[in-house]
Amino acid sequence: MLSTTQAFKANAAKALKDKNLQTAMARLEQNFPARRRAAVAGLPEFDALRDEAIGIKNHVLQHLDLYLERFEARVKERGGHVHWCATPAQARETILSICRAQNAKSVTKGKSMVSEEIGLNDFLAEHGIEPVETDLGEYIIQLACEPPSHIIGPAVHKTKEQVTDLFHEHHRKYGFSEKQTDPEALVNEARVILRKKYFEAGVGITGANFLIAETGSTVIVTNEGNGDLTQSLPKVHVVVTSIEKVVPTLEDCATILRVLARSATGQEMSVYTTFSTGPKRPEDIDGPEEFHVVLLDNGRSDMVGTALHELLRCIRCGACMNHCPVYQAVGGHAYGWVYPGPIGAALDPHFLGVEAAQHLPNASTFCGRCAEVCPMKIPLPDIMRHWREVAHERKVTPPLQRAGIEAWAWLAKRPALYRLATRLAVWALRAGGKKRGRFNSLPLAGGWTQVRDFPAPQGGTFHRQWRERRG
Ligand code: SF4
């Protein structure tokens, strides 16, 4: 599998022929969207809650500096540390120095997309520290040496049979010689292996779904409880997260949690919602002795007030990708970077540059389902359109495509000529497709006709129908 965003077309073509992937993606379609629909139907005030959550995020984004400083002050009051990191390199170095101060040989990790964004696992491994993923999905893909393919279900692209083979291959060295096929037995094997790793780890690293300014708490939601063990068993807890996760109060967090779980997995609430506030106090029976929050910017503050501003409301629920026909067809790896699906198509060009990620904003049918289901009502298609414009202006798109768009734009600004041209085109297509009612090859439309027929036009043109309907 090619793994860069430039390789999207090749990755997608390969993904469409991958039988295992197609089986797994068909299951996803019947799974997350159906559960979300039921959860939303069961909460009549869902839309009002959504608007409330959006209001909270919009307010925070207008006062981001204030709430981040308040969060930092509260963390320090509780004996924790906040590390401001402008770049992924700074975040990696900061975490490495915390691990080295502990002489850590291994770290346990809860699921964190920001840690993927900064390439933390490879970096720690290069410096002799073993990263151990403890979320089951992350654990599976770590064994398979693959990146996550979904922001809440990292191994959603794997079938049960593939996981069975993977565990059989890797768990033999831990004494599990029998090949298990029952999901419960497979989970149990992973649990037994990971238990030991929790106690060996010098540092536990988690992400954060929210940072609460009024208390200095960090919040994670999980369904496995692995986050709790990751952060409470080692001597040091590191939270690696990004600046837009801050919310003013505990109450605000509770409001957004209600839309997050329903949008992500269709649950009313995730099984575990864990609040961490500073290191262990003298009266606590357990908990970490040190508490560090690594706060990554990585260009996020540059998004404030721009066409990308609304992306900062994203709560990484994954609903947009669960409902995207392109993501459902090709899976997450085809996108070639950390954030796949519609949120990736809107976000990745910012992180990687539009030159590197130009295919992603084009990997959309613009059906609008992503924006419709997004709990934060982020106008993802508008942002993808913005990136298409940027790619056009910077001459990143192929010359022929640019010339075609410019010719169309020229024509579209001259209505009489446009009508004449479309009439002629429709007449020619009708005449050419009269016999079969469709075309299996057309000049300039080879990308379409090599995989499907192009239907010959039928009925009146859009303009004619529009005139008739308006009377
Ligand atoms: S863009 Fe919206 S739907 Fe997609 S992950 Fe973010 S919050 Fe969820």
Helix (H, G, I), strand (E, B) or coil at 279: coil
Residue range 451-458: mean pLDDT, rounded: 88
Residue range 84-100: mean pLDDT, rounded: 98
Higher pLDDT: 212 or 438? It is 212
- Tokens standing for 84? 């401001």
Locus of tokens 């994670």 = 220
Going from the Cα of 353 to the center of ligand 1, the distance in angstroms, rounded, reads: 21
Q: What are phi and psi of 131, to 5 degrees?
A: -90, 130
5-27 burial code (b ≥16 CB/10 A, e <16): bbbbeebbebbeebeebbebbee
Q: How far is CA 4 from CA 310, 356, 394, in A?
A: 26, 8, 20
**Ligand 1 within 6 A of 95 CB?**
no
Q: At what angle do helices 183-200 and 136-143 cross, to 10 degrees?
A: 90
Residue range 280-299: mean pLDDT, rounded: 96
Best substitution site from 152, 259, 343, 347 to test ligand 1's pocket, by max atoms within 8 Å of Cβ? 343
Q: At what angle do helices 380-393 and 341-352 cross, to 10 degrees?
A: 40
Residue range 89-102: mean pLDDT, rounded: 98
**Ligand 1 within 6 A of 374 CB?**
yes
Q: What are phi and psi of 314, to 5 degrees?
A: -60, 135
Q: Find the angle CA(137)-CA(140)-CA(142) to the nearest 5 degrees.
A: 110
Q: Where are the beta strands (DSSP E) in 194-256?
A: 203-206, 210-212, 217-222, 236-242, 246-247
Going from the Cα of 81 to the center of ligand 1, the distance in angstroms, rounded, reads: 30
Determine what percent of the chain is predicted with pLDDT higher than 70: 99
Q: How far is CA 436 from CA 88, 152, 261, 418, 426, in A?
A: 56, 46, 50, 27, 16
Give yes or no for residue 462 having a pLDDT over 90: no
Q: How far apart are CA 232 and CA 227, in angstroms?
A: 9
Please list the residues that pair with 238 across neighbouring strands: 205, 292
For residue 31, count CB atoms less than 10 angstroms from its CB and return exposed for 0-12, middle for 13-18, buried for 19 or more.
Answer: middle
Nearest to 426 by CA among 461, 455, 452, 454: 461
pTM for the model stands at 0.92
Give yes or no for residue 380 having a pLDDT over 90: yes
**Ligand 1 within 6 A of 314 CB?**
yes
Going from the Cα of 403 to the center of ligand 1, the distance in angstroms, rounded, reads: 34
Protein residue whose Cα sits closest to atom 6 of ligand 1: 314
Q: How far is CA 262 from CA 40, 194, 332, in A?
A: 7, 29, 21
pLDDT per residue as tens digits for the range 408-432: 999 999 999 998 998 898 899 988 8
Q: What pLDDT is stored for residue 21 in this prediction?
A: 95
Going from the Cα of 247 to the center of ligand 1, the distance in angstroms, rounded, reads: 17
Give yes or no for residue 3 having a pLDDT over 70: no
Q: Where are the beta strands (DSSP E) in 375-467?
A: 438-439, 454-455
Going from the Cα of 219 to the center of ligand 1, the distance in angstroms, rounded, reads: 18
Determine what percent of the chain is predicted with pLDDT higher than 90: 85
pLDDT tier for residue 30 given thresholds of 50, 70 and 90: confident
Q: How far is CA 143 from CA 84, 148, 165, 166, in A?
A: 32, 12, 11, 7
Q: What are phi and psi of 61, to 5 degrees?
A: -65, -25
Q: What pLDDT is stored for residue 2 in this prediction?
A: 45
Tally the residues of the chain. Answer: 471
Residue range 165-184: mean pLDDT, rounded: 94
Nearest-atom index, ligand 1, CA of 313 = 7
Protein residue whose Cα sits closest to atom 8 of ligand 1: 317
pLDDT per residue as tens digits for the range 298-331: 999 999 999 999 999 999 999 999 999 999 999 9
Best substitution site from 32, 56, 320 to test ligand 1's pocket, by max atoms within 8 Å of Cβ? 320
Please list the residues that pair with 203 across neighbouring strands: 107, 236
pLDDT tier for residue 263 given thresholds of 50, 70 and 90: very high
Nearest-atom index, ligand 1, CA of 346 = 1
pLDDT per residue as tens digits for the range 105-147: 999 999 999 999 999 999 999 999 999 999 999 999 999 999 9
Nearest to 234 by CA among 65, 349, 99, 52: 99
Q: What pLDDT is stored for residue 1 in this prediction?
A: 42
pLDDT averaged over every residue in the chain? 94
Nearest to 211 by CA among 180, 178, 246: 246
Best substitution site from 221, 242, 263 to test ligand 1's pocket, by max atoms within 8 Å of Cβ? 263
Going from the Cα of 151 to the center of ligand 1, the distance in angstroms, rounded, reads: 10
